[in-house]
Structure 1
């Protein structure tokens, strides 16, 4: 159990749903999993979901500027598109940029995050090659409550959010509104005389509502709506006096009916839809991805085990200014139908989990994935576990129908194996996980081949292979009022292409923008009503390109935070990011944020 979260983030009695799509005690999950609570979110990050996750084991963030800029997230070295992102069960993805818009998911709306490292395609289908991240918004419970937050800091940062949540009779509700803006910093420093240095700020406005109706003890209906709008400045080129901007709109809608037919049989039927819209100005580019999913889950307890079954349909639609090869210029769509089953069993010290799933895609055909995991508790404190699993990622609609598209593209396929040893006793934990993930038919943008690709700039091709392997260590322990936690990742995400030619020109080299070593340490200390925290993130060198000719130096960043409770209702929050004002780069030519301070207040008045 990764230990970079706070004290209450990984307790053995925590219940998670992401690993198997059904409730399961955290102690019984046979996967590399982390749970982050609202307390962790408030103290550990500024900005977006990506800023929070970069502090977690096996996660690397790359961003071309501030929180509003384009963001990539590598989990165990896998590509951004190889991580499934869900918000309250609604899948987010971009069929143009290959992956979720990490920069457009605000922290203010998040109550809890569940992270699963390793393939999850046997449970979630396409995309879950490297991992799964599911975000949960607040759910109403108990008497009505109000929570208000306000903050201000350097770089012109201003934050404001408010929530009301609770329950009354059969109805429970939670509503949150938030806004955040910053003047930003110059993210593209250059000596080009034609370039006008300017600060690249952003503004984010979001809101969500979650309503539940408990019809009786057996049946519940829930409705969810979420919307976020991110407007950010960026530097596209060295054009003087040009204000380049991106506008990223996200939306999620979901309706679900859950039923408990007996003490051993339960089910859920849900309909969800997400929209991810990205637009630039004054240079016009517009792309919009819409995903609609219908899912029916059922779970039945059978003695010491549980059988899970799933039927699911996913519909993708892409609206893009450049899709000349699609049947309808400017638009393309496809669908996937899936059926899956899983079995979770445990008796005494032994636990076993098996999942299988078949997806049929209207564009490239069928794909079968599966996983098998087993764990054995050597003592009440020590457990050894291992797993094998397969995964796939369907080609995006842009990769198939854009000017650079290839309608003969096939899905990328991954084969993962891992083994782990875990220890947990009286507030002290330790874990080590060794993994190896081989991804075949990796899609890259290749050189033009007139026989296969008429575009002079090149096309997408299934010609590459990646080998992701490494060891992840984590530990945590308390010493009175002091708690120390941390992780160390030693990894080798490399190009493993063979066969000669351009496809294997970079064979054996590190994948772009991924390091071989990362260390993340955190200390928390409580005294006299204060809660102090210090965090260190250290990364080794990386290369900005696949040929490993442009080297990016390693870096270390220190963050401090503090919280003081004046009363039960009023808390002061302080944060200092990049304490030593260290200049470093995630991507060549792009600056990262300077030292930044934030002061905030959170008020939860009694009603």
Structure 2
């Protein structure tokens, strides 16, 4: 890990790199010509590098994949390194994985792949386990009122999964395996295509998912009995292609992703479903053409996307036919960006459509949407102060609304910055939430749009020794949707729990590597989240939002002596409740992980990694629904590549 000096927390925001909130960051950022730029403070907290990025409306943690290169971490585990988030793994490896930010439901988090929204009309939030881990270069965790910049649905925040960039001549091959019949393989190759680059990547994962655990057949805290988790196997494979090609006074970027998988649905620990299963498949295609100086100093960009989804599942009974669902979505947008003496002005127009069909629906459902957004990023008083207003008007089907944010930032000293923001966002119910059965999720036709009004403020101290950031926030949710168990088969149903409040404190820090032969470093995060139901049944008012812990902490310490590295991690999750009345608690849990890695060759770069999850072999760990999580898990990974990776723990 390396720490940057205070001056490194600034960046030149080029005209073409600020082309709107839905722009694919990984596609839009490389090799664009020098254009009029405004130097703006940053307030991004990167792991492992301590950097501060000056986007006032939100606090951003960028979890860099190179930090965890070779480790058996999926997208959900990478995201869990950031404060303010709760990642829920519903049953272990390859099973449904969702994320909550600042007390939101999974539906209240906008998830993007290279800027392309993955949230679909199926609802229930995005399943992070469907994003192949081998393709991930970084995950940007945006916390705060971000609906005006990322679109409806970003109530608690947004995740942007950035895939690897094309780099002509680079290649990599990774293979590994471990406990519970788990095996993984991935390959990547990039080549020059004329003046541009094309990258193709493929991956495949499989796990048997059969593991021992301790079942509590009675009341929580009572005696447990040995049991075996069955029907939890999972398989997934995918293919990714990315093209980046400069044009005359412009640039072309394109992406195609195909992925799919199968998994068993084991059900509740006390009510297993050995006959339940789910198959899914997804096709994503995205393109962007930018013209620099199209109208005076302004840059115009046209972008389009296409998404096809398929979901088949047997969830109702061993003799019942599978539920079959099909979805498709397409969108077209025009972005305009221009700089002026004090900042950058951006505007966008978008149109989209989504279709969904399923057995027994009677007719195909459709959801048409339009949106218009304007944002300004001002640097005042020589860059000491920031002002960033943004507004977005949006309509999806019969639901519409306006999202807005106002961000403020100030540079208080060479290594100290302050920021604050206030915003309002909304999320319309999806077609599937209103009308369709969807795997483990069942519909509720009476849902209303969620809304959120939020304010946050924070301080960032970023020096040569490392970084410390503290952020406080307060959010009021109206018509908040909470997923809860609805039957003995493990299915979840969304409910509007009325009005709720979430407030808290987020702390994170990262040290620079200490000099000497050991190169020791540490980083971590702590989240305090107080939630309260403000409206609902008398027995519910005043209680916590279900599944939201009050305390959460992550700590990682590492040594990097020469070609070897070693690390140990602590993950603590505080007490939470499964119900809105606060009578069914989930006890707190603490999990230790550890790993060792070594470089065995430089040309090509070859590394071997040993990782142990749940080091203490705690067999009583459960997810939010009370279903078991895997005991001690051992994974070994061998990776070879053309480009040496930075040896940073």
TM bucket (normalised to shorter chain) is: 0.7 to 0.9
CA positional deviation for 1:418: 0.5
Distance change >3 Å, CA 137–CA 156, structure 1 → 2: same
Deviation per CA, 1:472-522: give whole Å up to 9, x if none.
111222322111111111111221216xxx3x5311111111110011111
Question: Taking structure 2 as the reference length, what is the TM-score of the superposition?
Answer: 0.83
1:552 aligns with 2:579: no
Partner-residue secondary structure (3-state), 1:122: helix
Matched, 1:477 2:504: no
Shift of residue 94, structure 1, vs aligned partner: 3.5
Task: Report how far residue 585 of structure 1 moved.
Answer: 1.1
Cα distance in 1 for partners of 2:433, 2:212 equals 29
| 1:244-273 deviation per Cα after TM superposition (whole angstroms, max 9, x unaligned) | 222122221111111211794222211112
Question: How far is the alpha carbon of 1:148 from its aligned partner?
Answer: 0.7
TM-aligned CA deviation for residue 467 of structure 1? 0.8
1:361 positional shift: 2.7
Partner of 2:560: 526
Tell whether 2:631 aligns with 1:604. Answer: no
Q: What CA distance in whole angstroms lies between the structure 2 residues aligned with 1:603 and 1:489?
A: 37
Native 8 Å contact 2:608 2:639 kept in 1: yes
Task: Measure the CA separation in 2 of the matches of 1:241 and 1:98.
Answer: 21
Secondary structure of the 2:601 match is: coil
Q: In structure 2, which of residues 280, 287, 303 is the aligned counterpart of residue 255 of structure 1?
A: 287
- Alpha-carbon shift at residue 318 of structure 1 (Å): 2.1
Cα offset for 1:116?
0.7
Check conservation: 2:72, 2:635, Cα contact below 8 A: no
1:29-178 matches, cutoff 5 A: 29-30=55-56, 31-42=58-69, 45-46=72-73, 48-141=74-167, 143-178=168-203
Higher mean C-alpha displacement, 235-244 vs 373-382: 235-244
Distance apart, 1:133 and its partner CA: 0.6
Distance 1:577 1:7, change over 3 A: farther
Residue 424 of structure 1 is matched in structure 2 by 462
CA deviations 1:445-494 (Å, max 9, x no partner) are 89x9xxxxxxxx99977561121110011122232211111111111122
| Contact 1:270/1:296 (8 A) holds in 2 | yes
Residues 381-426 of structure 1 deviation map (CA, whole Å, 9 limit, x = unaligned): 1111100001010011133335986767542110000010110011
The 8 Å contact of residues 188 and 235 in structure 1, kept in 2 or not, is answered as: no
TM-score (norm 1): 0.88
Q: Is 2:19–2:337's contact at 8 Å kept on the other side of the alignment?
A: no
- 2: CA distance, partners of 1:540 / 1:85: 25
The alpha carbon displacement at 1:241 in A equals 9.2
Tell me the alpha carbon deviations over residues 142-199 of structure 1, each in whole angstroms, 9 at most, x when there is no partner: x412111111212111111110014343221111011111111348875889x98535
The alignment partner of 2:145 has SS state of coil
Contact 1:81 1:127 in 2 (8 A): yes
Aligned residues of 2:609 and 2:636 also touching (Cα < 8 A): yes
Q: 1:122 and 1:133, CA in 2 relative to 1: closer, same or farther beyond 3 A?
A: same
Give, in angstroms, the shift of residue 598 of structure 1.
1.3
| Cα deviation code 1:568-606 (max 9, x no counterpart) | 221112211111112311234411111111111111248
1:467 pairs with 489, 501, 522, which one? Answer: 501
**Bigger mean CA offset, 198-207 vs 394-403:** 394-403
Structure 1 residues 420 and 411, CA gap change in structure 2 (3 angstroms): same
Check the 8 A contact 1:434/1:470 in 2, yes or no.
yes
> 1:91, 1:274 within 8 Å by CA — same for their partners in 2?
no
Q: 1:580 aligns with which of 603, 613, 616?
A: 616
| 1:378 corresponds to | 412
- Quick one: distance in 2 between partners of 1:240 and 1:298? 54
Is contact 1:357-1:370 (8 Å) kept? yes
What are the Cα deviations for residues 295-321 of structure 1, in whole angstroms up to 9, with x where unaligned?
111110011200000101121222233
Partner of 2:325: 287
1:40 deviation in Å? 2.8
Give the distance between the partners of 2:524 and 2:369, measured in 1 at CA.
40
Comparing 519-528 with 21-30, greater Cα deviation is found at 21-30
CA distance in 2, matches of 1:38, 1:166: 22
| Residue of structure 2 equivalent to 1:452 | none
Residue 454 of structure 1 corresponds to which residue in structure 2?
none
Aligned mates of 1:136, 1:219 — CA distance in 2: 22
SS of the residue 1:296 aligns to: strand
CA contact (8 A) 1:322 1:402 kept: no
Which moves more between the two structures, 412-421 or 56-65? 56-65
Against the structure 1 CA distance between its residues 591 and 240, is the aligned structure 2 distance closer, same or farther, given a 3 Å change threshold? Answer: closer
What is the match of residue 384 of structure 2? Answer: 349
The runs of 5 or more residues in structure 2 that have no matched partner are 24-28, 30-39, 45-52, 218-224, 645-649
CA distance in structure 1 between the aligned counterparts of 2:630 and 2:272, rounded to whole angstroms: 23
Shift of 1:91: 1.1
Tell me the secondary structure at the aligned position of residue 480 of structure 2: strand
CA distance in 2, matches of 1:510, 1:19: 36
Aligned counterparts of 1:580 and 1:375: Cα–Cα separation in 2: 44
Partner secondary structure for residue 616 of structure 2: coil
Decide whether the 8 Å contact of 2:18 with 2:337 is kept in 1. no
Q: Residue 566 of structure 1 aligns to a residue in which SS?
A: strand
1:534 is displaced (CA, Å) by 1.6
Partners of 2:129 and 2:607 in 1: CA distance = 28
CA contact (8 A) 1:186 1:199 kept: no
- Contact 2:244–2:252 (CA<8 Å) still a contact in 1? yes
Aligned-residue RMSD, C-alpha:
3.1
CA 1:279–1:189 in 2, change beyond 3 Å: closer, same or farther? farther
Q: Decide whether aligned partners of structure 1 residues 136 and 606 sit closer, same or farther in structure 2, where only a CA change above 3 A counts.
A: closer
- Cα distance in 2 for partners of 1:458, 1:279 equals 17
Whether contact under 8 Å (1:188, 1:589) holds in the other structure is: no
For structure 1, list consecutive stretches of 5 or more residues without a partner in the other structure: 1-5, 324-328, 449-456
The answer to whether the 8 Å contact 1:187/1:200 transfers is: no
2:338 and 2:182 map into 1 onto residues whose CA distance is 50
Report the secondary structure of 1:512's partner residue. Answer: coil
Given that 1:66 and 1:185 are in contact with CA atoms closer than 8 Å, whether structure 2 keeps it comes out as: no
**Does structure 2 retain, via aligned residues, the 8 Å contact 1:90–1:274?**
no
For the residue of structure 2 that corresponds to 1:527, the secondary structure is coil
Which residue is equivalent to 1:219? 250
Secondary structure at the counterpart of residue 52 of structure 1: helix
